[in-house]
A and B are shown apart, each in its own frame.
Chain A
């Protein structure tokens, strides 16, 4: 066993799709592009492909770095690479930027061929199911009839679940981490506050801010600050920041003003600032709405087991003890539904202090479980 390494320098490519994609809303996207990265080699039997689905703010850049941006490390680089849990010496890994996102795939920033101007507010609302159908076309284009596994965390886990339901013959294993079968009222409420922050920014212009040469940065910043709070656990925040004052001793006097004083304020504002530099506000609205709408049981009278009945994949689910955004109880709902359907399922409930964010972090118990599971998949597909 060699030490885990990086996949190294990678290059994204854009794939164009001309066949119109019908959407859950009833609208259609006439044609669209998806940004894609791949790592490792597709074997002769085309049986070793793994699709990695991203969550809210990530992209097709799952692993490795870019030639011209050596510090831009892929968002799941600790999971995907040679000697890593998803070992790119054994698997052909596909990362894709979803429709409506803002990292090069067709989205609200793209030019609407009907008007010659950016889509802006006219970009159709897309759902997890729409993404999955677009990903299935991507699989066709790559010559992948069946994925050895489709995996993702959080919103990415929802896509993996949706794959198992919508394309049961095309997925061997569904790996869904820190996810939920549907958002709670509290989850939706947090999303609504984030969207309200964006929509009430004077620079939002009803979603058509591109034409005005501005971005609703203030709203986006607040949206990210709210989101970020839900990604961390209370304990984690207490440990990282406590009540520490920025640049001052803990027992120093307060400034008796309203500027940034506590470390936690400084951290959140920095996160918000950074995010508002690179993320598109319309994409934030679109993706949080896709989260709100995901509820595969809705069309089955709320019966999740019935919704999952078409699934034929084997399942790995994992959750984290301090994740209060998508708590272990939400993963257990999925496990229960899968057991009712006699599906093969392994469920790891990992005791980790880092809240929802834990799925992106390098926790040895979590990574050992994933590595062991992917090892069995690799053996199964002859890698």
Chain B
């Protein structure tokens, strides 16, 4: 089974043998991949019944909870790496979630859609909220309540004392080298939490 591009990149940032917490772990693909190829173990947190079921089928440890309740289950400094992929933009309390991630792990990895993509800007200039492949929702039914740009995230990370150690800006699953802040659809960050 092929792993989603951003998950493949994230997996490459996780040291073999690590203890990993995957928040919003979906169908457990990342955790299963890390277990099978990098001898990692850990837990996923996931709310959707269908995803929890997939995790069970893959034999991945999964805890069915929302992020707030889920994070409370884990003790301080439990993990080497905590992952939050394509979920940050949908959480209510972004700062609290990042602080909780810092509490439970030495290293954090987050990915989120880049709201600074030129198509979004163009859409706004044309007077409409953007609806694109990466943000495919109308303004009134979107779960994405905290959209940001890479620069926005870097400012928040600095405010919270998270030291960024890796950054990848992707479009169509490939790194973007020219004008990434405008052309990338997805941003992936790695940071040390202390």
Contacts and interface: CB of A to CB of B under 8 A. Distances in A.
Interface of A: 332, 335-336, 339-340, 342, 344-351, 365, 368-369, 372-373, 375-376
B49 to A, nearest CB: 5
Contacts of B33: none
A98 B108 CA distance: 49
Nearest to A365: B49
Contacts of B61: 344-346
Contact of B73 (A339, A351, A372, A375): A339
B133 interface: no
Nearest to B57: A372
29 contacts: A335-B73, A336-B73, A336-B74, A339-B43, A339-B73, A339-B74, A340-B75, A342-B41, A344-B61, A345-B61, A346-B55, A346-B56, A346-B61, A346-B62, A347-B62, A347-B63, A347-B65, A348-B52, A348-B56, A348-B64, A365-B49, A368-B53, A369-B49, A369-B52, A369-B56, A372-B56, A372-B57, A375-B57, A376-B56
B59 interface: yes
A61 B31 CA distance: 40
A369 B53 contact: yes
Contacts of A375: 57
Contacts of A372: 53, 56-57
A340 B78 CA distance: 8
Interface in B40-54: 41, 43, 49, 52-53
A344 B62 CA distance: 9
Nearest to A316: B56
Contacts of A347: 62-65
Given A346-B56, A368-B53, A372-B53, A339 B78 contact: yes
B64 A373 contact: no
Interface in B17-55: 41, 43, 49, 52-53, 55
Interface residues of B, number: 19
A33 B63 CA distance: 40
Nearest to B73: A336
A351 B61 CA distance: 20
Interface of B: 41, 43, 49, 52-53, 55-57, 59, 61-65, 69, 73-75, 78
Contacts of B41: 342
Given A346-B62, A347-B64, A332 B73 contact: yes
Contacts of B63: 335, 345-347
Listed residue (A348, A350, A351) with the most chain B CB atoms within 10 angstroms of its CB: A348
Nearest to B55: A346
Given A332-B65, A335-B63, A373-B56, 20 more contacts: A336-B75, A339-B74, A339-B78, A344-B61, A345-B63, A346-B52, A346-B56, A346-B61, A347-B64, A348-B56, A348-B64, A349-B64, A350-B49, A365-B49, A369-B52, A369-B53, A372-B53, A372-B56, A375-B57, A376-B56
Nearest to B78: A339
B47 to A, nearest CB: 9
B35 to A, nearest CB: 11
Contacts of B74: 336, 339
Contacts of B49: 350-351, 365, 369
Contacts of A345: 43, 61, 63
A28 B69 CA distance: 45
A87 to B, nearest CB: 15
A191 to B, nearest CB: 29
Contacts of A369: 49, 52-53, 56
Contact of A376 (B52, B59, B64, B78): B59
A351 B49 CA distance: 9
Given A372-B53, A373-B56, A376-B57, A339 B64 contact: no
Contacts of A344: 61
A41 to B, nearest CB: 25
B20 to A, nearest CB: 12
A347 B49 CA distance: 11
Contacts of B57: 372, 375-376
Nearest to B69: A332
A337 B74 CA distance: 9
A33 to B, nearest CB: 38
Nearest to A364: B49
B115 to A, nearest CB: 32
What 6 pairs between A and B have smallest CB-CB spacing? A372-B56, A349-B64, A347-B63, A336-B73, A372-B57, A365-B49
